[in-house]
Amino acid sequence: MRLAMRTFLAGARASLVMEASDFALPELLGTRLPRFILQALFFVILAYAAGGPELARFALIGNAMGNAAITSLIMLGISIEIEKWAGTLPLLIAAPANWLPLMIGRALAGYLEALLGVVTTFVVLTPFMTGFGFAVDRLLLAAPLMLFSVATMSGLGWLLGSITLPMRIGLLVSNMVAYAMFVVCGVNFPVEALPPALQWVGRSLPLTHGLMAIRAVIDGASYLDVAPLIGLEALIGLVYAAAAWLMFRQRLRAAQLTGNIELH
């Protein structure tokens, strides 16, 4: 257990250090955070044009959370890709340490960046939502659910990273899945508005039920009211995490057997 904790902390430290070196404060303030805000603003204006203040409010919650959850997805997917680029993946595979706590630790910087994005988006854009804004206490009450939804996305990110491990398109696939989730997960309009087949896709992905629960809590529901949605979100997150674990294990085993991981 102590060893697993040490591995987790090592992964967390590595992810934070890499994040800090990749995104120094000027870059975070000049590119990452503005992108969170501006992307949400674009869809809020579009929603306002299409459906008025109510749809704009819907889009603000959806995009603030959607951006955050997708950051978590991409960060975990890309953490596998980065090891590949840096040539350290064979070393990780050969190391005796358990890679599961390491992978969880590697997701930490993604969670932090995602949460920073949610907070910044709400803080900057809520004052402009005159007449159809949010009660601060309801937003704070929904905060644990936001963290929870960000976490449930990690399983999918890890799964995508594992699937694309032998390919060179990991980042592209993560990005495109993330964009597609903006369409099918009820980020900008309710899932019910989609064609039935796409509704089914949306409901089988993480984020969809978490987002429904977050919206309900912001609008006044209690955690007990949204317990079924939270349960579904947790279940879906676990299913993806389990699939990712199996896929990653299979990939690593194949890499150890063939010894050709550097070729990917």
Q: Mask: binding to another protein, 161-190, rule CB under 8 A, as x and -?
A: -------xx-xx--xx--xx-xx----xxx
Q: Mask: binding to another protein, 34-73, rule CB under 8 A, as x and -?
A: xx--xx-xxx-xxxxxxxx--x---x--------------
CB of 108 to another protein, least distance (A): 22
CB of 42 to another protein, least distance (A): 5
183 vs 239, beta carbon nearer another protein: 183
3 vs 45, beta carbon nearer another protein: 45
Near another protein by CB under 8 A: residue from 27, 219, 225, 262: 27
CB of 32 to another protein, least distance (A): 8
126 vs 175, beta carbon nearer another protein: 175
38 vs 95, beta carbon nearer another protein: 38
CB of 203 to another protein, least distance (A): 16
Residues in the interface with another protein (CB under 8 A) total: 36
**77 closest CA partner among 159, 177, 14, 166:** 159
Token pair in block for residue 93? 């595979």
Long-range CB contacts (< 8 A, 24+ apart) of 95-98? Answer: 97/3, 97/7, 98/3, 98/4, 98/7
CB of 86 to another protein, least distance (A): 16
Q: Which residues contact 262 (CB under 8 A, 6 or more apart)?
A: 87, 90
26 vs 87, beta carbon nearer another protein: 26
Phi first, then psi: what are they for 98, rounded to 5°?
Answer: -70, 130
Report the distance separating Cα 253 and Cα 43, nearest Å.
43
Report the distance separating Cα 54 and Cα 52, nearest Å.
6
**169 closest CA partner among 56, 60, 264, 247:** 264
Question: Is residue 52 packed enough to be buried (19+ CB in 10 Å), middle (13-18) or exposed (0-12)?
Answer: exposed
Report the distance separating Cα 27 and Cα 51, nearest Å.
35
100 vs 183, beta carbon nearer another protein: 183
194 scored as a contact of another protein (CB under 8 A): yes
Report the distance separating Cα 241 and Cα 244, nearest Å.
5
> Which residues contact another protein (rule: CB under 8 A)?
27, 30-32, 34-35, 38-39, 41-43, 45-52, 55, 59, 168-169, 171-172, 175-176, 179-180, 182-183, 188-190, 193-194
